[in-house]
C-alpha cells in the first residue's frame, strides 16, 4: 500500500504503459495506434481492474506533469531552427496560421452551441489543436479540465495524421506552404510526423506552424473566449 502512495508507482506505470504503446505502434505502423492514447487506456484499465484510486496514481503523475512546462520553452528552439523558413514566408505563415486558429475556435464554438455543451467542456476543447504543454497551460487560464483537453489534443493529432494524406489528394494544387501550414496548425506534432512523410518542405512548414500556432492561440483565444462570454 505504501508503494501505491509513493511517486514511484505513478511514474513507473506511466513509463511502462507508454513503452508498451510504442511497441504496439511499431508493430502495426498505423497512426491510429498513438502511444500516448494507448498508455492512457492501459492506465485507466489497470487502475479500474485493481480498484486503485486515481489519487494514488496522480502522486507520481504530477512529477511527470511538472516537466511539461519546460517543454513549452523548448518550442523556442523549434522556432530558431526554422528561422530561415519563417523569415522568408513570414506573412504567409502568420495569415495562414491565424486563419486556422480562428477557424478552429469558431468551429468548436458553433458545435458546442449546437450540441448544448457546457462552457467548461467548450473551454476544454478550445486548445485541442496546439501541442500538449501549451494546451494544458491555456486550459488552466481558461478554466477548462486538463484531462479532457489532453484527450482532445491526442485525438486531434491522430485525426490530422490520418486525414492529411486524403486532404492533400483532395486539394492537389496546394503548394508545400499551404499543406505544411494546414497540417501543423490543425494537428500539431502528431500531424507534423505525417507532413514529414509527404515531403521535406511540408515537414518544415508544419514544424514552423506548431510553435507559431501555439503562440497565436494563446494570445487570441482567451480574448475571443471573453468576447463571447465563455469566461
pLDDT band at 125 (very low <50, low <70, confident <90, very high): very high
Of residues 71 and 170, the one with the higher pLDDT is 170
Q: Inform me whether the pLDDT recorded for 1 exceeds 60.
A: no
Helix (H) or strand (E) holding 147: helix 146-170
Q: What is the CA radius of gyration of the chain?
A: 18
> Could you tell me the three cell numbers for 43?
492506465
Cβ contacts of 115 within 8 Å, gap of 6 or more:
none
Q: What is the structure's pLDDT at 137? A: 87
Q: What share of the chain is helix, strand, coil (3-state, %, to 5)?
A: 80, 0, 20
Q: Could you tell me the pTM of the whole model?
A: 0.78
Q: Looking at the predicted structure, is the pLDDT value of residue 71 above 70?
A: no
17 and 43 in contact (C-beta within 8 Å)? yes
Cβ–Cβ < 8 Å for 198, 168: yes
Taking residues 113-131, report their average pLDDT. Answer: 93
pLDDT of residue 85: 79
Please give the residue that has the higher pLDDT: either 57 or 86. Answer: 57
User: What is the percentage of the chain residues whose pLDDT exceeds 90?
Assistant: 37
pLDDT at 48: 94
- CA-nearest of 42, 77, 120, 53 to 207 is 77
pLDDT band at 120 (very low <50, low <70, confident <90, very high): very high
Residue 212 grid coordinates: 507559431
Q: Tell me what pLDDT residue 228 has.
A: 92
Q: What is the DSSP letter of 99?
A: H
Query: Are the CB atoms for 187 and 179 separated by under 8 Å?
Result: no
Does position 73 have pLDDT exceeding 70, yes or no?
A: no
Q: Are 188 and 213 in contact (CB under 8 A)?
A: yes
The span from the CA of 26 to the CA of 187, in Å, is: 21
What average pLDDT score do residues 76-105 get? 85
Please determine, for residue 220, whether its predicted confidence score (pLDDT) is greater than 80: yes
Mean per-residue pLDDT for 108-131? 93
Report pLDDT for 75: 66
Query: What angle separates helix 200-227 from helix 90-115, to the nearest 10 degrees?
Result: 50
Amino acid at each position: 500500500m505504501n508503494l501505491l502512495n509513493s511517486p514511484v508507482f505513478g511514474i513507473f506505470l506511466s513509463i511502462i504503459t507508454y513503452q508498451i504503446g510504442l511497441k504496439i505502434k511499431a508493430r502495426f505502423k498505423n497512426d491510429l495506434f498513438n502511444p500516448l492514447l494507448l498508455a492512457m487506456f492501459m492506465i485507466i484499465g489497470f487502475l479500474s481492474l485493481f480498484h486503485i484510486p486515481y489519487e494514488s496514481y496522480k502522486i507520481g503523475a504530477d512529477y511527470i506533469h511538472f516537466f511539461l512546462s519546460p517543454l513549452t520553452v523548448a518550442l523556442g528552439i523549434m522556432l530558431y531552427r526554422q528561422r530561415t523558413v519563417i523569415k522568408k514566408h513570414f506573412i504567409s505563415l502568420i495569415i495562414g496560421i491565424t486563419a486556422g486558429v480562428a477557424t478552429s475556435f469558431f468551429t468548436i464554438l458553433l458545435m458546442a452551441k449546437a450540441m448544448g455543451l457546457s462552457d467548461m467542456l467548450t473551454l476544454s476543447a478550445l486548445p485541442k489543436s496546439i501541442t500538449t504543454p501549451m494546451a494544458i497551460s491555456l486550459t488552466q487560464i481558461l478554466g477548462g479540465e486538463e484531462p479532457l483537453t489532453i484527450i482532445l489534443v491526442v485525438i486531434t493529432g491522430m485525426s490530422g495524421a490520418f486525414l492529411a494524406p486524403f486532404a492533400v489528394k483532395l486539394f492537389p494544387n496546394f503548394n508545400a506552404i499551404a499543406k505544411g501550414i494546414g497540417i501543423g496548425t490543425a494537428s500539431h506534432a502528431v500531424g507534423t510526423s505525417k507532413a514529414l512523410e509527404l515531403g521535406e518542405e511540408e515537414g518544415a512548414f508544419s514544424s514552423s506552424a506548431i510553435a507559431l500556432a501555439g503562440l497565436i492561440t494563446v494570445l487570441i483565444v482567451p480574448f475571443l473566449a471573453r468576447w463571447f462570454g465563455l469566461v
